[in-house]
Amino acid sequence: MHRLLTISELVEEILSHLDPYKYVDSYSTASLAALAALAQTARLPFHDKALDILWRSQMSLLNTLRCMPSDLWKESLGQKRAMRLLRPIQASDWQRARLYAGRVKDFLSRSYPDDLSYAAVAPILLHRSLGLAPGQIFPNLTSLHWGHDDENFHCIRLFFSPRITRLGIQLRRSETSQLAVLSHIPRECPGLEEAFFDMDPRDPISAENARIICTFVRELRSLKALTDLTISIPDMASLGHIGRLPSLRNLGIRGLPAAISRASHDEEPPFQSLRCLDNLWVSSLSSVAPFLDMCSGCALESFKLTLSCESHIPPASIKPLLEELVHSHHFSLTTLSIYYTECGMPESEEVPGPDDIFTIYSLQPILALSNLVDVEFFPTFGSDFDDAAIGQMAQAWPRLRRLLFQEEEHVAATRTTLLSLQLLACHCPHLESLTMDFSAEVVPPIQDPPVPSYRLRSLTTKKSKILAAHPVARFISASFPSLRTVYSAWNRRAVKDPEEAAFYERWKEVEALIPVIVEIRQEGKQWAQI
């Protein structure tokens, strides 16, 4: 073995490229097989490090239970898969499993009734058989995500330990027995840094359960390392306690109280350490502006709002909220996201009208946020911008790195053209990612001299129509010469609509042509200098 492989940091770097969990959206079975092969070698550097990666993240107790003797369990493959205990568990049965359980750092367990891994949750069985104390199943666990909304919910306490720094729990506000678990968290997980409590704010809550949540958030002040929190807030008292958390920087709220009042002038402003409101999920706008006023004492850097309403919310009604946001966080805000979901249609209307679509007028206040670098809009009925509107945004946000407009398919045809891309290139030199709909049917003249932006490498054109690939590629390459990936929402397998498949192919041709045209253009400049 080469002596360089005795350096543990080098071995870790090599094996990190085989980590099957490295990318959330691309789990690799090939990497898993390669790691398993390395784990079976006698070479200690590879053996131990490969085992660490293989066992680091687990989604059930199934792998742990399979380390026990084969005569202990029987897997039934009937209509409902399950693992049946054949004999009492002995302490010796658990010894081999413990060798691997100590390597588990991240445990995610959810309710999948038809999956064998769900049947393998059975920690209560191990607990009763071996007398294991909480935290002994995975003694080095640092991250726990629990999604059991059933009789197994209470088993979560078997995994609580002082080592836990990240905790995610799915629970119901209406279930007192589930909320009772919250009182144990500050004492049993004192090192908690990030906590996510997935509660549906539409779930009814009793006065007793509201008091349980209020008491819990008050006790969270003992967690000095807690920086990230997502939770449902049933009343003003709970919100007040959260505002006093000393180190809270990132807050997600699943529903705000109906009435919000500012603290008295004699008290210190709440949320002084808060920097990010990255998951503000509300069903009404009435309490959002007062809440932002309550947060005026902090330097908010990120604001992400999700509106989920049964009734229709016209874009004009969001303008006062944006004005409050600009008033309180004019200089600090760098990230802004507004997402409409499940919002109803206007009454007596089958299609959205002019007042139901986002325009530059709806967003006028945020043009004053000159430090924005990341902007997202997900309007229910789309937006109606022209090139002039995009030009206003580009000039207002010169530091922009990412711009995303996610519109519905049923809105009117877009009025933006390829000129919008040219304006963004001129005024946003840091732009790295762009998603927007525009018309590429007519290609305007290239600006002379062109003002290229070199950082954009990814462009999502959604359902932008295009007639010819080469002139479009030539135009875009003058503005974004580093562009390498072009996505579209057209379906290349659209049998019933050949034009849709043609649009897809033309955009893929644009993607292939851009680097070629850029190279030809550079060669032409070199020859001109000779």
pLDDT average per 10 residues of sequence, the chain (530 residues)? 63 66 55 65 65 84 83 71 74 84 90 54 56 78 89 84 96 92 96 95 90 95 95 92 94 87 67 92 85 90 86 78 90 92 53 72 92 90 87 97 78 85 97 95 92 95 94 96 94 78 94 94 79
Distance from C-alpha of 148 to C-alpha of 230, rounded to nearest angstrom: 18
CA distances from 99 to 52, 64, 103, 186 (A): 11, 10, 8, 29
Distance from C-alpha of 354 to C-alpha of 335, rounded to nearest angstrom: 28
Distance from C-alpha of 322 to C-alpha of 333, rounded to nearest angstrom: 12
| β strands within 364-455, DSSP E | 374-378, 402-405, 433-435
Length of the chain: 530
Distance from C-alpha of 132 to C-alpha of 396, rounded to nearest angstrom: 60
490, 464 Cβ separation under 8 angstroms: no
Read off the amino acid at residue 271.
F
Which one-letter DSSP state was computed for residue 235? S
Tens digits of residue pLDDT in 348-405: 455 566 667 788 888 899 999 999 999 999 887 678 899 999 999 999 999 999 999 9
Start-to-end C-alpha separation, the chain: 54
Distance from C-alpha of 111 to C-alpha of 153, rounded to nearest angstrom: 10
Distance from C-alpha of 253 to C-alpha of 260, rounded to nearest angstrom: 14
Read off the amino acid at residue 264.
S
Report residue 257 as tokens. 């109280």
Compute CA 369 distance to the chain's CA centroid, rounded to the nearest angstrom. Answer: 23
| 196: helix, strand or coil | strand
For 193, half-sphere exposure in the C-beta direction (CA atoms, 13 angstrom radius) is 6
What values do phi and psi take at 158, rounded to 5? -65, -15
Distance from C-alpha of 460 to C-alpha of 438, rounded to nearest angstrom: 10
CA distances from 271 to 41, 118, 289, 372, 466 (A): 53, 40, 15, 22, 49
pLDDT of residue 485: 95
**Radius of gyration (Cα) for the chain, nearest Å?**
28
Read off the amino acid at residue 74.
K
Cβ atoms < 10 Å from Cβ of 373? 20
Report residue 69 as tokens. 């003797």
Q: Counting beta carbons within 10 angstroms of the beta carbon of residue 416, is it exposed (0 to 12), middle (13 to 18) or buried (19 or more)?
A: buried
Distance from C-alpha of 137 to C-alpha of 97, rounded to nearest angstrom: 9
Distance from C-alpha of 284 to C-alpha of 303, rounded to nearest angstrom: 17
88: nearest Cα among 102, 69, 101, 75: 69
Model confidence, pTM: 0.83
Tens digits of residue pLDDT in 78-113: 666 667 778 877 778 888 888 889 999 999 887 765
Q: Quote the crossing angle between the two packed helices 498-529 and 469-479, to the nearest 10°.
A: 50
Q: Counting beta carbons within 10 angstroms of the beta carbon of residue 428, is it exposed (0 to 12), middle (13 to 18) or buried (19 or more)?
A: buried
462, 437 Cβ separation under 8 angstroms: yes
**Domain ranges across the chain:** 165-290, 427-530
Bridge partner list, 156: none
Cβ atoms < 10 Å from Cβ of 144? 22
Distance from C-alpha of 479 to C-alpha of 342, rounded to nearest angstrom: 37
200, 174 Cβ separation under 8 angstroms: no
Triad 151, 154, 160: Cα angle to 5°: 150
441, 465 Cβ separation under 8 angstroms: yes
Characterize 441-468 residue by residue with b for buried, 16 or more Cβ atoms within 10 angstroms of its Cβ, and e for exposed.
eebeebbeeeebbeebeebbbbebbbee
